């Protein structure tokens, strides 16, 4: 069974204090790994897709990396507006393009 585990469940940072969120996965064959951001009461917003180990993608203060067992979302010098829940999801090599989601990391950045 495909599994996605995100850690920590919650993270509190001071503004400017860089850190990383972890997404570890156990799947039969990875087709892609996705990161989303979700604000309270809203739908998830797509951030990145990673397809192969060693791949990296960046967007503003966020950088996602991928290994054969896990992905990291690095947040550099975060601002209060980066506060949100960050979701990781995996897609496996099967006939349908469904995603299996982790439970998310809730990030709070204090000024």
Q: Which of 19, 24, 49, 83 binds other proteins (CB under 8 A)?
A: 49
DSSP string, the chain: --EEEEE-SEEEEETT--EEEEEEEE-SSEEEEEEEEE-TTS--EEEEEE-STT-EEEETTEEEEE-SSEEEEEE-S--GGG-EEEEEEEEESSSS---EE---EEEEEE-
Q: Are 27 and 34 in contact (CB under 8 A)?
A: no
**Least distance to other proteins, CB of residue 97, Å:** 4
Instruction: Assess 86 for contact with other proteins (CB under 8 A).
Output: no
Q: Which is nearer to other proteins, 66 or 78 (CB)?
A: 66
Q: Which is nearer to other proteins, 48 or 78 (CB)?
A: 48
Q: Which is nearer to other proteins, 19 or 101 (CB)?
A: 101
Instruction: Assess 101 for contact with other proteins (CB under 8 A).
Output: yes
Question: Which positions from 26 through 45 interact with other proteins, judged by CB under 8 A?
Answer: 31-32, 34, 36, 41-45
Which residues contact other proteins (rule: CB under 8 A)? 31-32, 34, 36, 41-46, 49, 87, 89, 91, 96-99, 101-104
């Amino acid at each position: 069974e495909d599994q996605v585990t995100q850690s920590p469940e919650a993270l509190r940072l001071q503004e400017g204090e860089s850190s990383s969120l972890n997404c570890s996965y156990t799947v039969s064959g990875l087709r892609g790994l996705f990161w989303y951001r979700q604000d309270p009461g809203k739908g998830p917003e797509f951030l990145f897709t990673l397809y192969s180990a060693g791949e990296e993608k960046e967007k503003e203060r966020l950088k996602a990396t991928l290994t054969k067992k896990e992905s990291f979302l690095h947040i550099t010098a975060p601002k209060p507006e980066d506060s949100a829940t960050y979701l990781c999801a995996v897609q496996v090599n099967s006939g349908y393009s469904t995603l299996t989601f982790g439970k998310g990391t809730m990030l709070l950045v204090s000024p």
